[in-house]
Amino acid sequence: MGSVAEGCTFETERLLVADWRNRPVAGWPSSDLIDAVVLMLTPAVTSTLPGGWQGDYSEDRAKRWIEERDDESTVLEVVEKASGQTVGLMLIGDGGSENGGTDIRLGYMLCESAWGRGLASEMVSGFVEWARQRSEIASITGGVEPDNIASARVLEKCGFRTVGLPEPEGEQLYRLELR
């Protein structure tokens, strides 16, 4: 599916980020996406993500997961400069119209081995800076499950604020208005 983030690419101090359909030639891991997804989608990572994403990943399941993501979003691959490894993914969906512009629906994950070093905050704030340069983007929205303290903290640190009340047992929406 096309979106305003199609072809998106940017870098931060420690990270290179690009649409996984347009991987840059230089500085990018030679590993294929299927291997990166198998390594990323461990039980600890998927436990706070949609229920249908949980469980073990064979190469076939990872391939299907990639195809499903492509059908509903633009996916940004996040590579750590120092190691040259794929450490994260950002899922960029269309959240509809907001304030005369597009609301982006943002999801993200990091490999377990990359947790706790501020990389999630760095990749989300890098995306926010990228989005600020796009006048068609009015806001960015993320949904967080009640016990996902790390994710809520990442969004708060990047300037997002809660919208409405959490669904009972469900997610709390966080939004950053860009205009």
Ligand X SMILES: CC(C)(COP(=O)(O)OP(=O)(O)OC[C@H]1O[C@@H](n2cnc3c(N)ncnc32)[C@H](O)[C@@H]1OP(=O)(O)O)[C@@H](O)C(=O)NCCC(=O)NCCS
Q: Could you tell me the smallest distance in angstroms from the CB atom of residue 163 to ligand X?
A: 14
When the beta carbons of 120 and 178 are compared against ligand X, the nearer one is: 120
Torsion of CA 47, 52, 58, 64, to 10 degrees: -130
173 lies in the site for ligand X, by CB under 6 A: no
Report the C-alpha gap between 74 and 1 in whole angstroms. Answer: 7
| From candidates 7, 55, 118, 146, binder to ligand X by CB under 6 A | 118
Residue 158 burial class via C-beta count within 10 angstroms: exposed 0-12, middle 13-18, buried 19 and up: buried
The correct pick among 120, 128, 158, 176 for binding ligand X (CB under 6 A) is 120
- Chain Cα centroid distance, residue 59: 21
Q: How many CB atoms lie within 10 A of CB 126?
A: 22
Number of residues counted as binding ligand X (CB under 6 A): 23
Q: CA dihedral in degrees (29, 31, 36, 38; nearest 10)?
A: -170
- Give yes or no for residue 161 binding ligand X (CB under 6 A): no
What residues numbered 62-101 form the site for ligand X, per CB under 6 A? none
**Stretch touching ligand X by CB under 6 A, among 17-25, 76-84, 117-125, 129-137:** 117-125
Binding site for ligand X (CB under 6 A): 45, 48-49, 107-110, 115-121, 142, 144, 148-151, 153-154, 157
